[in-house]
Amino acid sequence: MRIKLAYAGSTIELNIPDNISVDQYAPAVAENPVDAETFRRGFIGAGGERFLKSEKPLFVINDGHRNTPTPVMLSLLKQIQPEIIDRADYIIAAGTHGQPTEAHYRKIFGDYYDRLKARSEFHDCHDYTRMRKIGTDWFDKDVYVNQKVFEYDDIAIFSSVEPHYFAGFTGGRKSILPGLADFATVERNHNQANSLDAAPLKVDGNPVAEHMAAVLDMLGPEKFFGIQGVIDAHKNLAGIFFGDLKSVFDEAMVFSRQMYANEVKERYDVVIGEILPPLDASLYQLQKALENCQPAVCDGGTIILLSDCHSGVGSDHFFELACGWDSEKNIAKDGQLHFGSHKLSRVNAIGKRIDVRVRSTLPAETIERVFYKAMEDVQGFLDKLNHKECRLAVVRDAAHTVLTTQT
């Protein structure tokens, strides 16, 4: 059996030996992608008409690290009222990602880039002069969010809802925390991802997700009008949901689970995960695919992640943190929690149960510094398995496709 998987801007072809049984998984494909009339009915029916009358609404949008089809959503909105996108101001909920590159700006706005960039700004999580304190969280620490959310009466949050490896799902409250919050609050939130209760598809009992929801409640979810999409395997807009941010996020999660979650009855000896752009850009990002697929690997089995990591490590801080990591105790050697520590603790913990391999253009020593193992020859690895029966799962778009088990 021959299969082709996306890799490094092209494809990698693998010949699967006959003794290996193969199951393939991928996000679902929408039979009827969202059209203009579906969008219009949902928008108007949920009270979106107020934005058609608003002199200057604020649109909160995702940065270029997400798959959110913001240009498609803006086009559908523009068909309801052509001038609305030119009246709105825009803020990019960048979280800790920093200022978008030119390429990211063009991905964010698509064909609307030239006309809308001047009306947009990005959120800088370190600039407290542009934030306001909204109270204290359950750590009894101050929480700040971008000042702009207090300057507009009509605020719409555009996002997409997909599985997220420690927040449960993207979308909804993530546009506030981490999207528009201060760095210290984001750090407290993300440090809770050291808990394995922070997992894909899990919201209840997930400390990261519950902290995000608590911060949204501090502002009041009814303050924000959610426009939350779910995309399919072809990146088409498969579903769209409108309403107050909390309720609409709950609706979108149910639909997203139907699109991306796959229950596995028996674990696999080997899982191969294909990682698609933009999440194939760095070593930092490929963890999403590991977390989504590793539950389906049997103890002592192997997962192989295909990601060329053309942008390198993706976070110098995360890479440097590895130098001070005690792999046996699985904590920082200084005993402190650091931003990004979940990236190390989780991979290190998973790597003690299964063999975690990465096919990448990065040097082996770079990969192995953060507790992955490099794999040069995937075909050679498979060929060596021709002497025994073996179960293999091939996971397409593994950074979004989630494999679940009953145990």
Give residue-wise pLDDT tens across range 120-174: 999 999 999 999 999 999 999 999 999 999 999 999 999 999 999 999 999 999 9
pLDDT at 407: 63
Residue 101 DSSP label: P
Judging by DSSP bridges, how do beta strands 237-244 and 225-231 pair with one another?
antiparallel
Burial 154-165 (b: 16+ CB within 10 A, else e): bbbbbbbbbbbb
User: Do residues 168 and 299 share a domain?
Assistant: no
User: Do residues 207 and 333 share a domain?
Assistant: no
Distance spanning both ends of the chain, measured CA to CA: 30
The token duo for 206 is: 């997930």
Q: Are 58 and 89 in contact (CB under 8 A)?
A: yes
Domain with residue 288: its CATH number is: 3.90.226.30
The residue range of the domain holding 396 is 2-27+265-405
Domain with residue 226: its CATH number is: 3.40.50.11440
Q: How far is CA 298 from CA 350, 354, 358, 391, in A?
A: 12, 7, 18, 10
Residue from 161, 174, 173, 158 nearest 75 by CA? 158
Picking from 239, 259, 279, the residue at the C-terminal end of a domain is 259
Judging by DSSP bridges, how do beta strands 2-7 and 131-136 pair with one another?
unpaired
pLDDT at 172: 96
User: Do residues 195 and 291 share a domain?
Assistant: no
Largest separation between any pair of C-alpha atoms in the chain: 70
User: Do residues 20 and 73 share a domain?
Assistant: no
User: Do residues 204 and 277 share a domain?
Assistant: no
User: Do residues 252 and 306 share a domain?
Assistant: no
Q: Name 160's Cβ contacts closer than 8 Å, sequence gap at least 6.
A: 62, 66, 67, 68, 69, 170, 171, 228, 229, 230, 231
Picking from 203, 228, 259, the residue at the C-terminal end of a domain is 259
Residues of the chain with pLDDT under 70: 407
User: Do residues 189 and 68 share a domain?
Assistant: yes
Give residue-wise pLDDT tens across range 98-131: 888 898 899 999 999 999 999 999 999 999 999 9
User: Do residues 144 and 245 share a domain?
Assistant: yes
- d(CA 172, CA 168) in angstroms, rounded, equals 11
* Cis check: omega of the bond before 33, within 30 degrees of 0: no
Give residue-wise pLDDT tens across range 271-309: 999 999 888 999 888 999 999 999 999 999 999 999 999
User: Do residues 233 and 337 share a domain?
Assistant: no
**70-80 and 36-45 are packed helices; what angle lies between their axes, rounded to 10 degrees?**
70
Picking from 228, 259, 290, the residue at the C-terminal end of a domain is 259
**245-260 and 207-219 are packed helices; what angle lies between their axes, rounded to 10 degrees?**
150
Supply angle C-alpha 158, 167, 138, rounded to 5.
100
User: Do residues 286 and 216 share a domain?
Assistant: no
In the chain, the number of structural domains is: 2
User: Do residues 9 and 59 share a domain?
Assistant: no
- d(CA 367, CA 287) in angstroms, rounded, equals 12
User: Do residues 47 and 186 share a domain?
Assistant: yes
